[in-house]
A = this chain, B = another copy of it.
Amino acid sequence: MVSIATTTKAEHLLESLQKAIVEGDLQPGEKLREPDLARSFGTSRGPLRDALRRLEARRLVLSTPNAGARVTSLSAQQLAELYQVREALEGTTCRLAATHMSDNDIDQLDHLLSQHEQAIKEAGGRRYFRQEGDLDFHYRIADRCGNALLRSAICVDYYPLMRMYRHKFSVHEGRPTRALSEHRRIWSALAERDGELAEILMRRHIAAARKIIEDSLLNETDHD
């Protein structure tokens, strides 16, 4: 939303490429050829390589020596692993947020959930609002948890990858309504400043989503 005046070309490239990957303009597994990309963004290979390294740190790109870089392509197995990392990190995040968030933060989070409820009603329950909305909820909690390292690990290092894969198993994650009610329960725990409960609820919430993905691993029959 906010267009940051990036000082360096490498930073600008990082933003542009991350957006292209997250929004699917660059498909998972796609080869990232340096000369082509650099030309298409009007720069040289130096800044481009810099941006690729930063994207690699965010796990959006995988590059192998002398063989170039590709957009990350996660298997269901790997996506499940990502959810396990989220469970660990966001559980703690939630516990910290319960004591660190301001009353205003809590209010804004409540407002966000109202927006989601509204969006779900208008869309008849299976619109994609929720998917972005779900991530927004999680993102905001991490953003306000008070631990800068944890915040950057989640918001910077892992969430772009999550957004990239938000379509993949979105249908299976149960009706948006269910996710919303789980969010509301987490919110209540946060509002009551009950960190222990907030952590448990958040871990369950993410573990449930992971379960769906892991179950789909067993039904490996009709994939090309």
Residues of chain A having any CB pair with chain B under 8 Å? 7-8, 11, 46, 49-50, 53-54, 56-57, 59, 65-66, 78, 81-82, 84-85, 87-89, 91-92, 96, 147-150, 153
Contact = CB atoms under 8 A, between A and B. Distances in A.
A81 B8 contact: no
A9 B95 CA distance: 43
Contacts of A92: 84-85, 87-88
A45 to B, nearest CB: 10
B49 A149 contact: no
Contacts of A148: 78, 81
A11 B65 contact: yes
22 contacts: A7-B66, A46-B46, A49-B50, A50-B50, A50-B53, A53-B53, A54-B57, A56-B57, A78-B149, A81-B147, A81-B148, A81-B150, A84-B92, A84-B96, A84-B147, A85-B89, A85-B92, A85-B153, A88-B89, A88-B92, A88-B150, A89-B89
A166 B174 CA distance: 45
Contacts of A56: 57
A59 B85 CA distance: 19
A148 B74 CA distance: 12
Contact of A8 (B46, B50, B66, B88): B66
A152 B31 CA distance: 23
A96 B53 CA distance: 30
A193 to B, nearest CB: 18
A7 B65 contact: yes
Contacts of A81: 147-150
